[in-house]
Each structure stands twice: as C-alpha cells, then as structure tokens.
Amino acid sequence: MEFNYPNGNKFVPKSISDKPMTKRSVQFGKRGMTLEDEINNSNQYYLSHDIAVIHKKPTPIQIVKVKYPKRSAAQIQEAYFRQASTTDYNGVYKGKYIDFDAKETTNKTSFPLKNFHEHQIKHMKQCLNAGGICFTVIKFVKLDRVFLLKASDLFHYWDNKDDGGRQSIPLVNIEQAGFEIKYKLNPTIPYLDVVDQLLNDNPFI
Amino acid sequence: MEFNYPNGNKFVPKSISDKPMTKRSVQFGKRGMTLEDEINNSNQYYLSHDIAVIHKKPTPIQIVKVKYPKRSAAQIQEAYFRQASTTDYNGVYKGKYIDFDAKETTNKTSFPLKNFHEHQIKHMKQCLNAGGICFTVIKFVKLDRVFLLKASDLFHYWDNKDDGGRQSIPLVNIEQAGFEIKYKLNPTIPYLDVVDQLLNDNPFI
C-alpha cells in the first residue's frame, strides 16, 4: 500500500531509510534538511510529475551472515558497508542518461576535493565518454548555496591536484564555472532547469 | 589496487558479492553461470571496452543495528532485505538511458509473469515515458536460450493478465515479438547488438 502527500510526493516512512542512524551535527540550512533529503525530495517531485526518473542507488553492502527464520523475513546478522564504485544518483530525463553525485561542505570559501574518491571520478569519466550528462551538486551548508558543476569542470581540478595544484576548488571559481541553483518550493532543488540549459547550449550532450 | 584479466575484464573477488550464500540447484547452462553472472560479465566487457556503462544496482537493505568498533570497520548486526522499487540494471549507451531486468525461468514453453512485481513494471513504464530504452532479458534455463523483450511488449501481456488474460507469455510469442540473443565468447550475452537494432529502427527511442 502506497501513500502520497497532497502534493503527489510519495510518503516514505523514516524507518525504511538505508542509512544507519548516526549522530549528526545540527544543520542550520533553510529547512534543516541535508542535501541528500533535498535531492531525494526533488527527484520525487520530478517522478510524480512525469518529468524524470532519477533515483538514489542503494548503499552497497557486503553480506556475511544471514539467518532464515521460519515464518518470518530473512535477517542479515553480519554485513559491512562497501565503497560505492559509482556515483549516488542516476536516471533518465528526456531520453538522456543523467548521472551525478551530491556533496556538502561546511567550508565557506572553497570545496575540498577530498570529498570525492578516485573511482567516482573514473565512473563519471566513463559515463561522459558514453554520452551521459554528468555533474556534481555542491552545497555550501553554512552559506546555504547550492551549485551544479559539470563533471568536465570538476575533472580539470581533480586532474591538477596531483600535479601540485590546489586540493580544493575556490568558491569564486565555482561561481564562475558552475550554475547556482536557487531553492524553490517544489522541486526544492530544481537542478533539471540547469540540465535544460546545458542541453540548449549543446543538444548533443 | 585493481587487477584485470588478460581480456581486460576487471577481477572481482567472489567474497565482495552482495548476494548471500545460498544453496542453489546445479545449473546445466552452457557455462554453469546464472543469467545474472552472464549479464554482469557482459557489462564488464562493455565497460572495459568503453562501449557502455551499465551496472547492477546494489540490493536495497534496511539497516536496523550497526556497531562501530574501535579501529575496525562498522559492522551491520541487524538488517533486512527490502523489495527493490526499480529494475536491477541501468546505465548509459551512446548517450541513451538503458534500463532492464534479467529473469530466468525453468519453464520450457512459457515465461510466467509472476517473475515480475507491479512496482518493476511501473518503474519501466515511467522510464519509457521519460524516453529511456527499457526491456527485459529472459533466459529459458533448460533450453539455454536467451531473449530480449521490449518493455512495451511485456506491458501488453502484463496489462492483460488481470483482465482474464494469460498468466504467462508463451515461448512462441517471445520468439516472434522478442529478439533471441546468441551466446558469444565476449561479451557472453551481446544484448547491446539488439539495442543497436532497436535504435536503427527508431533513432528517437
């Protein structure tokens, strides 16, 4: 049985999140939501309005021990988190393949590149090479500002960092190369508006 | 550190599979591999040859209890399998969004529709509506025959089954409406050859 909010978004009970309960510092963002919540909300809006089908991938888990009790659900009794080999979000919009990651930083003047792993960058390069639309959504939590940065721009900084380049991307550069996304009521983060802009500039991406 | 097989495929140690170890009946297929193994192998081939980026999604898990021991990895001590709300595979090929599920049957004359869940069909309808390329790969294990069936053809049978229609798709109909995929050495199941055919017939899908 599925329930929907009046705005058409799907009701998802908190308990079925795949995130473990961890203590986290209080967020002073506009709605007290994490970037992940905001993206998930936006994706739910896009889905329920037949605009795009974009989901967060489940966290990959290595299962070691499972118990199969009679007359009840299989219980995983020992498992470990695995490092994801891809980005967190992918899906389809106007027939195009969309692939991105969402990252928060508490920094105020630059985005530290250590937020990315080598395999995520490799995955984005592979997707871009196969004709996908790849980017990262970056939130400066303390500034309450959200940007979309094209993967190709991210690679520029990533590839330079091991050649004595900066270990972070200055905010001023993100302001120049990226696209600021202004919060809306629905969808919370209208990132597909930027994707439309990218598609208009180059209909072949 | 990553290792590759001589054919360029990535070496993935068995232990990091997200599937629990379960007893399964012996497979008498060509290579003793499950359809999932064959698809994963094929995807690895497509990835390592810069042809397409298509991954199996991790199994969704609901985590209840996690222990954080000092100086070692977080251990999940209680978790349950959740029903996936999407199909198993998605990715990008020639810029197009690809989405599919892979199903085995031991039947010899028809494919039972109970192999699908309502939410998987719903997801495929949403993807198709957003311009994605959606299909299912069906393996008749005892016949060692593999078919690609377009999602739109699957919907036809699915939507009819509740109106007094058949609960399965006869093999003869799959032979007519679907595309048989012949095993190759590499990739094991060259399903993107069929996708090429679909794209040639209708470059706008």
Tokens encoding A183: 């919060």
For residue B27, what pLDDT band results from cuts at 50, 70 and 90?
A: very low
Q: How far is B96 from chain A (nearest CA, A)?
A: 5
Rounded Cα gap, residues A13 and A6, in angstroms? 16
Out of A17, A75, A97, whose CB is closest to B92? A97
Q: What is the crossing angle of helices B118-129 and B151-161, to 10°?
A: 140
Partner-chain contact B58 A58, CB within 8 Å: yes
Q: A24 pLDDT exceeds 90?
A: no
ipTM for this model:
0.81
- B49 touching A (Cβ < 8 Å): no
Chain A residues within 8 A of B53 when measuring between CB atoms = 123, 126-127, 130, 132
Return the domain boundaries, chain A.
39-58+85-201
- B90 touching A (Cβ < 8 Å): yes
Q: What is the pLDDT of residues B140-198, one digit of tens each?
A: 999 999 999 999 999 999 999 888 889 999 999 999 999 999 999 999 999 999 999 99
Query: CA-nearest residue of chain B to A74?
Result: B80
Partner-chain contact A80 B73, CB within 8 Å: yes
pLDDT at site B26: 44
Residues B191, B148: contact at Cβ < 8 Å?
A: yes
**B44, β-bridge pairs:** none
Question: Max alpha carbon distance in chain B (Å)?
Answer: 60
Q: How far is B63 from chain A (nearest CA, A)?
A: 6
Rounded Cα gap, residues B182 and A12, in angstroms? 42
For residue A72, what pLDDT band results from cuts at 50, 70 and 90?
A: confident
pLDDT at site A29: 43
Helix/strand number for chain B, H first, E second: 5, 10
* Per-position b or e across B111-136, b if 16+ CB within 10 A of its CB: bebeebeeebbebbbbbbebbbbbbb
Give the DSSP H or E segment for B61. Answer: strand B61-67
What CATH number was assigned to the domain covering residues B25-57+86-201? 3.40.1350.10
Is B120 annotated to bind a ligand? Reply is: yes
What CATH number was assigned to the domain covering residues A39-58+85-201? 3.40.1350.10
Residue B166: phi and psi, rounded to 5, are -65, 150
Rounded Cα gap, residues B65 and A138, in angstroms? 30
Mean local confidence (pLDDT), A51-70: 93
**CA distances to A101, B131, B147, B152, B159 from B135, in Å:** 26, 13, 10, 8, 16
Identity of the residue numbered B90: N
Partner-chain contact A95 B63, CB within 8 Å: no
Angle at A65 between CA A62 and CA A68, to 5 degrees: 125
Mean local confidence (pLDDT), A17-42: 67
